[in-house]
Structure 1
């Protein structure tokens, strides 16, 4: 068994840790993005964030070098696989955009007691928004209580804000989230039914 040296390594012997870059889209190292389903988006992110690494991985020379080591059959299979992955990614992106275009955000003003109201906001998760973060922002912006709760049907979650702030929430969403079309936001007023005397 080799004996361990009791002396500490010198500065020349100690190497600094290697810096690893992770993709901002799929969170894998860029060398492995091709194995995920979002290669096109990953490549766009890499070209903006790290152009030198993008040139090294996706330049024509790099692609030619990696393909030259494969056999002819393997090259054909690799091309077919790449085309299939690209088609799948485009189809998924199209489905996602259609889903977003069809989904609605409902801002509902609900009467609790005589002059007390709460505002319920549902449908934000369809646009990729974090409900807890938005609820916290609503609480700060409107100086009121705000929480994420299960909706009446139990199928999803909604944000409940104390007070009648439906118009303010509508304006805030349009100002701060351009990805949400104005036509997809709907204001609803829900009044309590009065008991027959």
Structure 2
């Protein structure tokens, strides 16, 4: 028979879990992401006690001693592959950002009415809805996110604010978008035929 404790049941204690600032996994699982070296550096700078517990010589030797020689070699190959794949993805993303253009078009609606259309912001990691809201406040006009005929999202701002918008993008989001990647385009509506 089981013995019954005399006192009230103990309250469960909440655990404080640390998440990696690089890969957002708990540090015990960073090895399964592709950025092991960066994760280890982050852990060493932000949580030295946990780094010592996970990456000290004794901890590494203890975990390696349980693996066979072939498993060790395979683990080393897998880690190298994951790291190379992550580095390749990072360089590909940087190249894509460098090659992509943000277009600011001034489109004539009718007679002397214009709208300004901005495309290509999402490639640089900017949120179109937030930018549209900021532009609406900045220029005191209507601003919305719409789908283009090509299927991409674009921001439509009422009025001819293309040059002011260019200056604002360079000033506020100059870190994310290089100035040479922003281009102004004027798109005129074709007049009905004669």
TM-score, normalised by the number of residues in structure 1: 0.83
Q: CA RMSD in A?
A: 2.7
Change (3 A) 1:43 1:163: farther
Please give the residue correspondences for 1:140-151 in structure 2 after superposition, counting only pairs within 5 Å: 140-151=137-148
Deviation at 1:102, TM superposition (A): 1.0
What is the rounded CA distance, in whole Å, between the counterparts of 1:41 and 1:68 in structure 2?
25
Query: 1: CA distance between counterparts of 2:41 and 2:141?
Result: 41
What's the offset of the Cα at 1:181?
Answer: 1.1
Compute the TM-score of the two structures, normalised by the length of structure 2.
Answer: 0.84
What are the ranges of 5 or more consecutive residues in structure 2 without an aligned counterpart? none
CA deviation after TM superposition for structure 1 residue 135, in Å:
1.2
TM superposition shift of 1:141 = 1.8
Q: CA 1:71/1:148 → structure 2, altered by over 3 Å: closer, same or farther? A: same
Do residues 157 (structure 1) and 159 (structure 2) align? no
Q: CA deviation at 1:88?
A: 0.7
Unmatched segments (≥5 aa) in structure 1? none
> CA offset at residue 25 of structure 1?
4.2
Aligned to 1:116, which of 93, 113, 116?
Answer: 113
- Distance in 1 of aligned mates of 2:157 and 2:132: 8
Cα gap change, 1:84/1:168 in structure 2, threshold over 3 Å: closer, same or farther? Answer: same
Once the two structures are TM-superposed, the CA of residue 77 in structure 1 deviates from its matched residue by: 1.0
CA distance in 2, matches of 1:62, 1:143: 60
The secondary structure found in structure 1 opposite 2:75 is helix
- Does 1:183 pair with 2:180? yes
Match of 1:16 among 6, 13, 16: 13
Deviates more, 1:44-53 or 1:97-106: 44-53
The corresponding residue for 2:70 is 73
Aligned residue pairs total: 193
Which stretch shows the higher mean deviation, 27-36 or 122-131? 27-36
